Structure 1
Amino acid sequence: MDHQALTPFLASALAEYSFITPEQPLPCFAVLLGRLEDDTAYVERSAFGRNSRATDPSAQLEFSEAIVPRFGRAYENEHRGWWIDSHDVLRITRAAEEDGLDVLGSIHMHPDWHRIGPPEERGARLSERPTPMDTHVFAGTAWPVNVICYLEQQGEAMYHALAAWGPPQADAPEVGCTELELRIRADAGAAASAKR
């Protein structure tokens, strides 16, 4: 992953994190764009779209009929979960194609919900690992690369951890997602400064 694909997402995730409340677990999500070569995905950019989770009839139906019964009443909260606007998916896909890039997957934030979430959910510790809901979403999109960015506040400092995941195998979904090697290409300017 190019650091230039990660930097805008991280800035957005940190901004969203500052507005999270126990009642509003605001999500942060972006689409990853790049190239597949042999068995390696090269993520060059990220692109943002609107969350239509609360307004898209397809999203509302999916959440009420499939997600809430399977993953719990917490997903009745319209601020929980992401459903990228279909017009934005089309716009992002067309722009990527014009630049010779493919849609490779997604990146989303997991906050330290065990610390900032509602008291009844503080036992469920999130991390950069996929939740059962993530596994469901990754299987549904079948995108080859899905990155989870875990954000945690310790005192005044913010920390993040990243991990990349492939979708579960269609013939063995119970096995879960496959962890992928993730490498972040360093900023050329930072590398040049380090040599001095």
Structure 2
Amino acid sequence: MFLRTCVLYFALAITFNSGFGLSDAEKRVKRATLIESYPELTDLESSEENSDISLPVAAEEIVLSDSEILNQSDEFELVLKKGFNPHVILGDYSYYVGVYEQVSWYRALQECALQNMQLLYIDNAQNNRQLRNFLTEQNILPAQYWTSANNFIQDDEFVWLPTGKDLTFTNWGQNETGPFSNCVYINKNYKWGVTDCYDDHYFICKAPLVPRCGPTGQCHS
């Protein structure tokens, strides 16, 4: 009986909701028709000002506003500056900052190859600082990015994929490893961590600046 009453209560509410645009008289007719069919709803009659309630309060309470959802999430909300250009020259290198899609480490390799570039490698503290400053200026530092560093050959030895060389400069964070972790990424604090290569992150591609006719700028026939 209790369940039936609850179902009928919702039927009553839905019926009144469907009456938007009707006159008060027409709403009263709809009310009377429903209650005549289901006498047990007599006690649920209410004043006219309550007849337009759309849903029970309990149902409304599960709906969160966008701001409430954002406040409950630890994820970084990426907002690009107007006129943002993903291509940038920093020092002796050209970079492409892939912030339009989060992809696996393997997909990031492919995306950089399509740019005729290589997935990020950081040779020294100066390169690291230049990149960090650029990401900070663009308000995209905490977005988390793939690098090309990995330990596929040996668990305790990380190398840069484009060069095959060991990491002579490092910027490790704390407790940034986990099971099946082989690929290095830059976390939201701009520290390095190791994670599953199939995780999704943004990525940064890199290529050395080489003049069209070679480092000396002299063309040879």
Return the TM-score normalized by structure 2. 0.23
TM-score (norm 1): 0.25
Q: Which has the larger radius of gyration?
A: 2
